[in-house]
Amino acid sequence: MDDEIKDMEGQTPEEEIQGQDSHSDYKPADRFDASAVHHLSGMYKNWFLDYASYVILERAVPHIEDGLKPVQRRILHSMKRMDDGRYNKVANIVGHTMQFHPHGDASIGDALVQLGQKDLLIDTQGNWGNILTGDRAAAPRYIEARLSKFALETVFNPKTTEWQLSYDGRNKEPITLPVKFPLLLAQGAEGIAVGLSSKILPHNLNDICDAAIKYLRGEEFNLYPDFPTGGSIDASKYNDGQRGGVLKVRAKVEKLDNKTLVIREVPYTKTASSLQESITKAVEKGKLKIRRVEDMTASEVEIQLHLTPGTSSDKTIDALYAFT
């Protein structure tokens, strides 16, 4: 039940990635000229850099100014255009967003569900899944969403927004949104591009506000991640979130009585189901002396561990942290 999370600013490739608007300067030789020399190494080198640049800038890594990946920004922009105060079917939102995002409805739907599960920018209605159990959301035609009051207040301002043409030139979309709040810290982000990866952990909304006030006053402050799944953290090697920092996250285990333990909170990125499987495997290997595991998780995590007779609850807790 220990989980080490490494927080990385990014791992850049050896060669500098070309800008978003740059293109390969490779010019193919005349294929009918028998004496022509085809320089394949140069061709693939330039094409790969173009591809890497596109993936980094347009798919996987959030922009530092608004903390959003392109698909997230386009979803919010579409929801703003559709906003009339009422809920919209997610299927309709996905269809509208496809005017700006050319990578398919599945990627838009998944990104929208993830935004909704963070319960910050989107007000949801229906079965949006459960991050504690790992249950998936219902189909887009069944669930509904609208922008939250927080999003309407802090994310949009057409007068200060820079615009660009959409991929087909028929519409305009924001380059970045003029967000008044550090969404990148609040929501966190994780993405793997080409030669670069990003992993930023989520933080507590109130902690961010307090840290911002202290920063503006010139006072020192500490800001540590906070997770929607709960758990406790060891931030002794966090290194202020810079590259190489390690954060150890542990589940919260309580004693119900001398024969029963209860897990109330799970580590970030884990679910009650995955934790139960890990405990079951440890029991099968003889690492834990647990008679029965009951997963009673619903709106809150509750996994009951019934110990075998004569087993120490304190030693079992230590073994849980060591072997699961």
Q: Which residues form the catalytic set? A: 142
> In the chain, what is the straight-line distance between the N-terminal and C-terminal CA atoms, in Å?
5
CB 165 within 8 A of CB 182: no
Q: Measured between alpha carbons, how far is 272 from 275 in angstroms, rounded to an integer?
A: 5
